[in-house]
Structure 1
Amino acid sequence: MRQSTVEVVLTDDERETLLRWSRRATSSQALALRCRIVLACADGLSNTQVGANLGIHPTTVATWRKRFAANRLEGLADEKRPGPARTVTDEQVEDVIVRTLETTPKGATHWSTREMAKQSGLSQSTVSRIWRTFGLKPHQVDTFKLSKDPQFVEKVRDVVGLYLDPPERAIVLCVDEKSQIQALDRSAPVLPMMPGMPERRTHDYLRGGVTTLFAALNTATGEVIGSPHRRHRATEFKKFLTKLDKEVPAELDVHLICDNYATHKTPAIRKWLLAHPRFHMHFTPTSSSWLNQVERWFGLLTDKQIRRGVHKNVQALEKDIRDWIAHWNEDPKLFSWTKSADEIFERLAGYLNRLPNPKP
């Protein structure tokens, strides 16, 4: 005998919830469809009518009609499906993690998935999943260098203070030199990229000379003032300061963030600064080039112009550098500094605490 259709009667709260779930952007498509099925059934439509309206089989409509009538809103959730039993125990996972963090394999400096699988008795794919889950990457290594500057704290607070709270009626410029930029020409013409084939070039090259780029990055706008010079002395740095003095409006003070290179502190430079009192020098701590924002800009210059550039002589190299600076200044990108000095010190303390024998 044919079974009677289960009647669906909704309360006001249930109808409101079903409508919200059916329209919510974060609801899964399956849940939204089930909500529409129940709402249509509550309007008195038959399973066949609901199926025709929603483009599904009447049997599907009958299933969710019955589940809602029996369990209400909770009945619309997916039931737990049986799966295979877990084969890797917590102890085995812990063993892989401990081995990875605290030991090294014989004949190697770090673990590979193949070597760890051999030692642990697990499959290589299982080891890989464990490492991904816990963020372990034995094949990668980063470098760091701790500054030994006795005025490290004071200098960090000074420079970061200029980034986060620059003085009024003043301009903050990150200044540095990118020295020993080589004009390199390949021993054979570069083969252009083709479908399925990357650009190809010879591994050997012809040297065409070197140049040095003096650059100042405006921390407020991202604009760069640059000047290539063939030599890297206090004389060239003084010429660059004169260039900055001409290009920066006279009514603004100029705060220069520099590293501790000797050419920045010679008697000639100090004399020039005394004659130009609107210029103020701020020095980053030793071994802390990461604190100078122009270093990031130098990285972009290297990636986009120098590393893969081909230059027969220094004149061609300097022309390309000037052209790239002009192109950059047409739409400069601002480097936003976000970390406070206290956050930097906290991060540094984390490194120190991980050292075997941290030194003060």
Structure 2
Amino acid sequence: MPSPKLAPLELTAEERRVLRGWVRRRKTAQVLAIRSRIILACAQGGTVTAVAEELGVSRDMVSKWRRRFLEHRLEGLVDEPRPGRPRTVGDDQVEQVVVKTLESAPPKGDTHWSTRSMAKATGMSQTTVSRIWRAFGLKPHQVETWKLSADPQFIDKVRDIVGLYLDPPERALVLCVDEKSQMQAIDRTAPILPVLPTTPARMSHDYVRHGTTSLFAALELSSGAVIAEHHRRHRHQEFLKFLKTIDKAVPADLDLHLVCDNYATHKTEAVHKWLLRHPRFHLHFTPTSASWLNLVERWFAELTSRKLRRSAHRSVAALEKDVRAWIKEWNADPKPFVWTKTADEILDSLAAYCRRINDSGH
């Protein structure tokens, strides 16, 4: 029998524009691009067989998408939602888990809910509870620490230090100064095993201590370069020696603005007298319990993650030599840490956080 006569396929100017766009777009899914080519070829008068041969697809495929286009136009070329398993957990059950997690005390005197205890309390599976928690970003098993500064001059000190970061004085260097004390020379009881395909590097759990050292560091705000030296003790005498090191390292025609914390060694009478004799030094103290304002802490984090955490040293001297070599490499291509938040943004953020924790009833 002869094939039934096909219904004519005609395109509007807008449909032709959209189809050509789907064909040309690099990010279009390939299945949608080939369907668009089929419709464009059919619209030029090509038969099912001719279009199938031209595009290298089956006749059934051409017939299917030609028919779908005639029935639903452009929307017919997009895959329809596939049937799947019907939803078994309703909105009320989801709300029950979320509210219980946030507002109800855990059972049996536990400090927090687990998937097992929540599943038992709600009659759901652990998998369902876990999916709901992930969807709402709930992590009852995790806890973070926080501390707000009680410094009566907190606002003034924040404005002072952030002002230095965002608008440094002319003909001056801003140095973020602190000590990384109690750096331990640690040696593992067995050699560290290197990383392998599918296997991370491995080190023994136990270790041997070989003494400690303190690293005094001054991070230059503008360049990211670091002035540093080791001392075996952590007293005002060592801090004075480090101030003298800074004095020698920086050209005499530049003022020095040092951002420091409130450690007692920074405020002794001996330090105060030395600063009076060296008026180009200006100390700016961070608020108490606000070490995050001192950018050298960010550099200490780099030192820890990139050098100290996975190193092994059999003596303090070996540790100090290794750290000095790492600092030399850092200073060969330093990277400054750019402060972006204004003092007002910081204070507004802290105020919002205080309101939130007060509203929570804690």
Q: Same fold (TM over 0.5)?
A: yes
Note closer, same or farther for the CA distance 1:109–1:240 as it changes in structure 2 (3 Å cut): same
What is the SS of the residue equivalent to 1:355? helix
Residue 201, structure 1, aligned to residue 201, structure 2: no
Unaligned segments of structure 2, at least 5 residues: none
Residue 321, structure 1, aligned to residue 323, structure 2: yes
Structure 1, residues 250-300: CA drift from partner, whole Å, max 9, x if none?
333221111011111222222222222222211111001111111121122
The code of the aligned residue for 1:260 comes to: N
Compare 53-62 and 148-157 and name the one that shifted more: 53-62
Aligned match of 1:93:
94
Whole-Å Cα distance in 2 between the matches of residues 280 and 129 of structure 1?
A: 55
Whole-Å Cα distance in 1 between the matches of residues 280 and 130 of structure 2?
A: 59
Residue 65, structure 1, aligned to residue 69, structure 2: no
Residue 331, structure 1, aligned to residue 337, structure 2: no
What is the SS of the residue equivalent to 1:9? coil
The code of the aligned residue for 1:110 comes to: H
Aligned match of 1:77:
78
Structure 1, residues 292-333: CA drift from partner, whole Å, max 9, x if none?
111121122223332333223222121111111112112223
Aligned match of 1:45:
46
1:212 paired residue among 203, 214, 227: 214
Residue 15, structure 1, aligned to residue 19, structure 2: no
Aligned match of 1:122:
124
With structure 2 as the length reference, what TM-score do the two structures score? 0.91
What is the SS of the residue equivalent to 1:213? strand
Unaligned segments of structure 1, at least 5 residues: none
**After superposition, where does 1:146-185 map in structure 2 within 5 Å?**
146-185=148-187
Note closer, same or farther for the CA distance 1:358–1:257 as it changes in structure 2 (3 Å cut): farther
Identity %: 59
With structure 1 as the length reference, what TM-score do the two structures score? 0.91
8 Å Cα contact 1:6/1:65 also seen in 2: no
Aligned match of 2:253:
251
Whole-Å Cα distance in 2 between the matches of residues 80 and 211 of structure 1?
A: 64
Compare 195-204 and 212-221 and name the one that shifted more: 195-204
Compare 276-285 and 19-28 and name the one that shifted more: 19-28
Note closer, same or farther for the CA distance 1:49–1:100 as it changes in structure 2 (3 Å cut): same
What is the SS of the residue equivalent to 1:176? strand
What is the SS of the residue equivalent to 2:107? coil
Structure 1, residues 142-171: CA drift from partner, whole Å, max 9, x if none?
110110001111111121222222233322
What is the SS of the residue equivalent to 2:134? helix
How far apart are residue 174 of structure 1 and its match? 0.8
Residue 308, structure 1, aligned to residue 317, structure 2: no
What is the SS of the residue equivalent to 1:287? coil
8 Å Cα contact 2:260/2:283 also seen in 1: yes
Aligned match of 1:192:
193
Point out 4+ residue stretches in structure 1 off by more than 4 angstroms. Answer: 194-198, 356-359
How far apart are residue 198 of structure 1 and its match? 4.5
Whole-Å Cα distance in 2 between the matches of residues 202 and 130 of structure 1?
A: 36
Note closer, same or farther for the CA distance 1:282–1:94 as it changes in structure 2 (3 Å cut): same
8 Å Cα contact 1:352/1:358 also seen in 2: no
**After superposition, where does 1:276-355 map in structure 2 within 5 Å?**
276-355=278-357
8 Å Cα contact 2:107/2:117 also seen in 1: no
What is the SS of the residue equivalent to 1:255? strand
The code of the aligned residue for 1:199 comes to: R
Aligned match of 1:262:
264
Note closer, same or farther for the CA distance 1:52–1:220 as it changes in structure 2 (3 Å cut): farther
Whole-Å Cα distance in 2 between the matches of residues 132 and 358 of structure 1?
A: 22
How far apart are residue 72 of structure 1 and its match? 2.4
Whole-Å Cα distance in 2 between the matches of residues 37 and 342 of structure 1?
A: 60
Compare 106-115 and 268-277 and name the one that shifted more: 268-277
Whole-Å Cα distance in 1 between the matches of residues 323 and 22 of structure 2?
A: 58
Whole-Å Cα distance in 2 between the matches of residues 324 and 243 of structure 1?
A: 19
Structure 1, residues 41-80: CA drift from partner, whole Å, max 9, x if none?
1222222232233332221111221222233223223334
The code of the aligned residue for 2:11 comes to: L
How far apart are residue 194 of structure 1 and its match? 7.0
What RMSD, in angstroms, separates the aligned Cα atoms of the two structures?
Answer: 2.2
